[in-house]
Amino acid sequence: MTYLKSKYQRGESELIDSIVKKGKRTFISQIQLVETSKVKDHQIYDCVYVDNGVKKQIHIIATDINHVVSKLEQVVNCCVPAATANVMLGSETFNKNA
């Protein structure tokens, strides 16, 4: 694994502030696989993203990272609070037919 030079290593909040100051108000900061789901062939991902300049963190149940991004696209720029998005995308009940 390669390592970044120390001048490129910033804390998450500094990085987010820098990107927002450059005009990018909606972006994904991190997607991490955290656990398997009870839903067949699905995993639980922890997703940190910035929506309209506001940092949000939710769990998403999906089959792979492409599925995570596809589901996340449905809730960004819609003024959906993180708690609501977490229920919609991170609940095994709502994802049984996903």
Q: What is the model's pTM?
A: 0.81
Mean pLDDT of the chain, nearest integer: 87
- The 10 Å Cβ neighbour count of residue 12 is 11
C-alpha span between 65 and 3 (Å, rounded): 24
Is the model's pLDDT at 96 over the cut of 80? no
For the stretch 39-71, pLDDT in tens is 899 999 999 999 998 999 999 999 999 999 999
Domain boundaries, the chain: 25-90
95, pLDDT greater than 80: no
Cβ-based neighbours of 46, under 8 Å, separated by 6 or more = 30, 31, 32, 34, 57, 58, 59
pLDDT higher than threshold 60 for residue 31: yes
